[in-house]
Amino acid sequence: MHLFTILALVTEALTLNYPEQQAFIGGTTSYSVQTPPLDTDWTYEVGTDPWPQYPRPKLARSPWQSLNGIWTYANASGQGALSNPPFNQTLSQEVLVPFCLESGLSGIQGANTIYSWYRTTFTVPPKWTGDRVLLNFGAVDYEATVFINGRNATFHRGGYYAFSVDVTDYLNGRQNELIVFAFDPTDSDQHVISIGKQTLTPSHIFYRPCSGIWQSVWIESAPTNYISDLSINGDASGQGTNNSIATHSGTAGSPITFNVKSPKTWSPDSPNLYDVTIRMGQDTVSSYTGFRTVIREEVNGVQRISLNGDVIFPFGTLDQGYWPDGLYTAPTYEAMTFDIKMLKRIGYNMLRKHVKVEPALYYAAADELGILIMQDMPSLATTSLPNKVQQAEFQRQLEILVTQLRSYTSIFAWVIYNEGWGQITSYNPEFGLTDIIHELDPTRLVNSVSGWFDHGAGDFSDNHHYTNPQCGSPQHSINSGPFDPSRLGFQGEFGGTGHNVSAKHLWKVKEAIDTINQTYELYETLDAWNFRGHFLLSELLFQVQLYSCAGAVWTGTTDVEGEVNGMMTYDRRILRPHVQKWKADIQALYDASARRSDGPTPTAS
């Protein structure tokens, strides 16, 4: 109660713009995890030194220092607050970076955190003197203005993307003050921005939003001329880089292409990766790549996906990437990779990362562990269709998505639109956006429209249907139009069968529990749920054998809030599938696809 009083005073002080008094009002509420509506086995292991791993394995520099940990935070009064940043003041509450303000792990667990101040201080190691100091953010949702020692260092828009700024000229040689102003309207007012499944009014398949700093923050030292970006691609023939005992030189800013003799290719079953070291002048960064080629081709009259020359049947889950304690941020690295390992254990070779973008470490883990990723663009708020300016911003961020993630080996396809969300249908912008992606990244497939308004763009004829699949089959959802055999027959979503587990494993928010009855099918026991799963997988198998089914996505990896259809509950404590049975059913899909791609085309009777 005492703490509440302090908070109220500080908020008032902010609103009244008396920043010089703020620092002296009663001190700062210290950090503790706020009990989330559901925890995980990792929640209370996070401590106050979260995510200590080096955050950017694709372009890694050794002199670095994490700025994750306890910062201070205050709810800001509005955009106008930017004209009067709280320099040299300790803010009202401690916050754990990098966990979104709505999460229990942040220590805030706030609502309507639209305008926010963050503050920390840091000193630069003396041995970095003479070099540049770069400040890096993994992601801040949705806009960030960054101040160093009272000066505006940079501004960034887009909730899912990394950004860096050279702050050398703003540093003072002592303790430096870092302040971030974050603005995240989510789906309020007339904002139509890229938010994925976040909403200020969660209901069933739309969830609690994530605001502010939600990925690692760190500083690093680099020479005056440094490598600021790297795009790396290895194909199955060995084009792209030399192996780790070899060197090759080229010019920065233009592609360097060379051959490696018989590289071990990358696939989900053998995720071989090669270390790469890049030197430019005084700068050295380490990276890695895998060698793989993904194409679409007709095999025995059916459009198929091939990986390194062999037909593959990508079968994965719809993967939302949400955590009950950290929301967009997994509590720990171990927790994050737990999901991927579990999917592999059940037999999946793929996941569809659904309208969310993960931290770089996630994609590196997928490369290492071996799982294909179909990567969605985070969808726009669906309150209304985007106007011209909003559509241009969507396109700009789509280009950033592809540019920032195209070096990861595991990604095999991009998705632009999901189920018509934010999709303008008056002039079909998916055609132009598909061309842009093919230009930025000619090494992957494009699923222009996953579900609903398909006008023929891209590599996939993707159908969503619940609960049973209609994959490359004559039966097709009305919204998607008939199956188009000139493109890949794909089931972008099916399954979604629910199991209302005991209250203990539910997200204890009444509004969420009240929407559980919207689940397509709800089973009372795991035996019944598994039986139904087997039936639906058998139906998919039949479609692989008879029709043009080239891959499919089961909904989903975990429960999220009021959505109770996961392989695992939201807390990851209950695994629903009878693993051996599912594994056998999934293997049957792979085998059926392989048989039809090898042997003669079955003759229709």
Ligand X SMILES: *[C@@H]1O[C@H](CO)[C@@H](O)[C@H](O)[C@H]1NC(C)=O
DSSP 3-state of 436:
helix
**Residue 82 makes contact with ligand X by CB under 6 A:** yes
Nearer to ligand X, 76 or 336 (CB): 76
Residue 87 makes contact with ligand X by CB under 6 A: yes
Q: How far is Cα 163 from Cα 73, in angstroms, rounded to an integer? A: 21
User: Is 506 a binder of ligand X (CB under 6 A)?
Assistant: yes
Tell me the window of 55-63, 152-160, 339-347, 348-356 that interacts with ligand X (CB under 6 A): 152-160
Residue 439 contacts ligand X per CB under 6 A: no
- Among the listed ranges 243-251, 294-302, 394-402, 472-480, the one in contact with ligand X (CB under 6 A) is 243-251
Closest CB to ligand X belongs to which residue?
Answer: 246
CB of 541 to ligand X, least distance (A): 30
Structure tokens that stand for 151 in this block: 């000066």
Q: How far is the CB of 177 from ligand X (least distance, A)?
A: 7
Does 75 help bind ligand X (rule: CB under 6 A)? yes
Cβ distance to ligand X smaller for residue 80 or 482: 80
Ramachandran assignment for 336, one of left (phi > 0), alpha (psi -120 to 50 degrees), beta (any other): alpha
d(CA 157, CA 159): 7
Three-state SS string across 122-174, please? ECCCHHHCCCEEEEEECCEECEEEEEECCEEEEEEECCCCCEEEECHHHCCCC
Question: At which residue do the structure tokens 């726009």 appear?
Answer: 380
| Sole binder of ligand X in the list 436, 513, 574, 594 (CB under 6 A) | 513
Identify whether the C-beta of residue 428 lies closer than 8 Å to the C-beta of residue 457.
Answer: yes
Give the contacts of 422 (CB within 8 A, at least 6 positions apart): 192, 379, 380, 381, 382, 385, 386, 394
Near ligand X by CB under 6 A: residue from 88, 121, 188, 237: 88
The CA distance from 59 to 228, in Å, is 9
Q: Which is nearer to ligand X, 63 or 150 (CB)?
A: 150
Figure out which of the listed residues 500, 574, 575, 583 binds ligand X, where binding follows CB under 6 A.
500
Cα–Cα distance between 331 and 344 in angstroms, integer? 21
Nearer to ligand X, 112 or 282 (CB): 112
Q: Is 152 in the site for ligand X (CB under 6 A)?
A: yes
Instruction: Considering only the stretches 242-250, 284-292, 311-319, 363-371, report the one whose residues sit in contact with ligand X under the rule CB under 6 A.
Output: 242-250
Q: Which of 38, 307, 457, 516 binds ligand X (CB under 6 A)?
A: 516
Q: Is 258 in the site for ligand X (CB under 6 A)?
A: yes
Q: Token digits for 195?
A: 């938010």
Rank residues 10 and 305 by Cβ distance to ligand X and give the closer one. 10
Q: Does 259 bind ligand X (CB under 6 A)?
A: yes
Closer Cβ to ligand X, 26 or 602, answer by number? 26
Is residue 145 close enough to count as binding ligand X by CB under 6 A? yes
Q: Scanning residues 384 to 403, which ones bind ligand X (CB under 6 A)?
A: none
Shortest reach from residue 155's CB to ligand X, in Å:
4
Range in contact with ligand X (rule: CB under 6 A) among 110-118, 284-292, 347-355, 528-536: 110-118
> Residue from 65, 90, 188, 242 that binds ligand X (CB under 6 A)?
242
Q: Is residue 597 involved in binding ligand X (CB under 6 A)?
A: no
If one asks whether residue 478 binds ligand X (CB under 6 A), the answer comes out as: no
What residues pair up with 488 in beta bridges, in sequence order?
A: 460
Total of chain residues touching ligand X, rule CB under 6 A? 27
The answer to the question of residue 173 lying near ligand X (CB under 6 A) is: no
Q: Using CB under 6 A, pick the residue from 1, 389, 478, 503 that binds ligand X.
A: 503
- 422-434 burial string, b = 16+ CB within 10 Å, else e? bbbeeebbbeebb
Task: Dump the DSSP string for 566-605.
Answer: -SB-TTS--B-S-HHHHHHHHHHHHHHHHHHHHSPPPPP-
In degrees rounded to 5, what are phi and psi of residue 425?
Answer: -110, 0
For residues 500-518, one letter each, b for 16 or more C-beta atoms within 10 angstroms of the residue's C-beta and e for the rest, the string is bbeeebbbebeebbebbee
Q: How far apart are CA 417 and CA 382, in angstroms?
A: 12
Give the pair of three-digit tokens for residue 278: 């890049």
Rounded CA separation 454/56 (Å): 36
Q: Which of 28, 43, 66, 113 binds ligand X (CB under 6 A)?
A: 113
Q: Which is nearer to ligand X, 334 or 514 (CB)?
A: 514
Under the criterion CB under 6 A, does residue 90 sit at the interface with ligand X?
A: no
Min dist. Cβ of residue 453 to ligand X (A): 26
**What residues does 146 pair with on adjacent strands?**
154, 180
Beta carbon of residue 194, minimum distance to ligand X (angstroms, whole number): 19
In 3D space, the residue among 452, 455, 388, 396 whose CA is nearest the CA of residue 428 turns out to be 455
* Sites of contact with ligand X (CB under 6 A): 75, 82, 87-88, 110-113, 145, 150, 152, 154-155, 242, 245-246, 248, 258-259, 500, 503, 506, 513-514, 516-517, 522
